[in-house]
């Protein structure tokens, strides 16, 4: 009886898991991401290339509202480089002494420039669909960088028996498989600073790592602190054991 019950529970769990997966969209191919895992570290060269992909392509539609230009220092950029990146954008400031708003070049302390004034403008420009803010996207979607990579490389032709909604594109990874984002990356679209034209896969991998970093910019510091805490705890347990032995040494 008990065995049957356990069997039933396992089967139910498998079915539920399967159903949940089907709803989530296509199966994700799992890749190795150097930043994931207990001792993981970012591949900073890849994260920097990914920032270039974000800046040249994704930032036309997706905002990164929680990021300031000075956060790029965590990516290895110098103060001068951060200033140069920021000053390419214009922000509205004010009011000035005459009570008027005015435009000025962005400073390192400003938040990243958003492509649209508000969500309604973003929807109007994208056939009614909202390009989500990317500040926490890698954390918010199951699979994180695998999901982002899967979306970017998952475009294709719809199976013959599927009726596509006009204005949507077939995507293997996106839940429901019909996405409003036109394929954003293609081979050779982004040329990296070393002169290499990036393949779709390369650019997708780099931007997925950049977005993982953008969602967790302090991850390395946090992990380093965690390791220190664990070492201290081990040391402390040793001391407490020695103290206990000393205190109880004469009690027989």
> Which residues bind to ligand HEC, rule: CB under 6 A?
53, 57-58, 60-62, 126, 129, 131-132, 141, 148, 151-152, 179-182, 184-185, 207
Nearer to ligand HEC, 72 or 141 (CB): 141
Nearer to ligand HEC, 24 or 43 (CB): 24
Residue 52 beta carbon to ligand HEC: minimum distance, rounded to whole angstroms: 11
CB-CB neighbours of 122 under 10 Å: 20
Tokens of 239: 């001391």
Residue 10 beta carbon to ligand HEC: minimum distance, rounded to whole angstroms: 31
Residue 126 beta carbon to ligand HEC: minimum distance, rounded to whole angstroms: 4
Nearer to ligand HEC, 112 or 131 (CB): 131
Q: Give one DSSP letter per residue of 193-248, joined into a string.
A: TTSPBPPHHHHHHHHHHHHHHHH-TTHHHHHHHHHHHHHHHHHHHHHHHHHHHHHT
Nearer to ligand HEC, 85 or 215 (CB): 215
Residue 8 beta carbon to ligand HEC: minimum distance, rounded to whole angstroms: 34
Q: 184: which residues sit within 8 A by CB, 6+ positions away? A: 57, 58, 152
Nearer to ligand HEC, 71 or 146 (CB): 146
Tokens of 247: 């205190």
Specify the residue for token string 């709803």.
23
How many angstroms separate the CA atoms of 165 and 20, rounded?
24
Nearest to 208 by CA among 31, 87, 82, 5: 31
Residue 174 beta carbon to ligand HEC: minimum distance, rounded to whole angstroms: 6
Residue 26 beta carbon to ligand HEC: minimum distance, rounded to whole angstroms: 12
How many angstroms separate the CA atoms of 211 and 21, rounded?
23
Nearer to ligand HEC, 53 or 85 (CB): 53
């Amino acid at each position: 009886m008990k065995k049957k019950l356990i069997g039933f529970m396992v089967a139910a769990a498998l079915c539920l898991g399967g159903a949940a997966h089907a709803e989530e969209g296509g199966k994700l191919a799992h890749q190795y991401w150097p930043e994931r895992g207990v001792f993981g570290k970012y591949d900073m060269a890849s994260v920097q290339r990914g920032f270039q992909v974000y800046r040249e392509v994704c930032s036309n539609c997706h905002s990164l509202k929680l990021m300031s230009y000075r956060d790029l220092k965590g990516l290895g950029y110098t103060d001068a480089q951060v200033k140069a990146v920021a000053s390419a954008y214009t922000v509205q400031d004010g009011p000035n002494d005459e009570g008027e708003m005015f435009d000025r070049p962005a400073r390192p302390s400003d938040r990243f420039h958003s492509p649209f004034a508000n969500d309604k403008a973003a929807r109007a420009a994208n056939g009614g669909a909202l390009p989500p803010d990317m500040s926490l996207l890698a954390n918010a979607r199951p699979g994180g960088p695998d999901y982002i990579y899967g979306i970017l490389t998952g475009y294709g032709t719809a199976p013959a028996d599927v009726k596509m909604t006009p204005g949507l594109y077939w995507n293997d990874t996106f839940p429901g498989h019909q996405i409003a984002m036109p394929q954003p990356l293609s081979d050779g679209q982004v040329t990296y600073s070393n002169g290499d034209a990036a393949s779709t896969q390369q650019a997708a991998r780099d931007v997925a790592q950049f977005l993982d970093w953008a969602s967790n910019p302090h991850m390395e510091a946090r992990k380093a602190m965690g390791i220190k805490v664990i070492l201290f705890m081990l040391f402390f347990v040793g001391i407490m054991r020695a103290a206990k032995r000393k205190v109880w040494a004469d009690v027989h």
